[in-house]
Amino acid sequence: RALSQVLFLTPHLPAFLLRHRLHSHILEIQQLDRALLHLGLGQLSEDELRAACYLRGLNSTHLGQAECRAWLEQWLGLSCELQDSEASLLAHSMVLLSLNYRR
């Protein structure tokens, strides 16, 4: 339920529906990550960079562009190495990496 707001999920659904929708959202983010890695982070504007961080759970309001880019590079390194069957690990990583990020 913690990721519901970031991933635009309705937290009032039954748990099994939330799990299914969360899994779908995580797989979609993973596909976006692979495309973003192929494109290259240098192609993103600052607004796109911040939106990409937010979509992955990081509040980048008080971070500089270089810090956002560094965090997103770390994230892409993890996300693109994981298999689709490891979506749960990726979801937990969203929480851990965003909450524990230090400038």
Q: What is the pLDDT of residues 64-101, one digit of tens each?
A: 999 999 999 999 999 999 998 998 898 888 888 887 77
Q: Identify the pLDDT of residue 5.
A: 57
Q: Identify the pLDDT of residue 9.
A: 65
The model carries a pTM of 0.80
Closest CA to 94 of 76, 67, 81, 69: 76
Closest CA to 15 of 6, 26, 4: 4
Q: Is the pLDDT of residue 36 over 80?
A: yes
Q: Identify the pLDDT of residue 16.
A: 84
For Cα atoms 60, 84, 12, give the angle at the middle one, nearest 5 degrees: 60
User: If pLDDT is split at 50, 70 and 90, which confidence band does 42 have?
Assistant: very high
Pick the more confident residue, 5 or 57: 57
- What sign has the CA pseudo-torsion 74, 7, 18, 98? positive
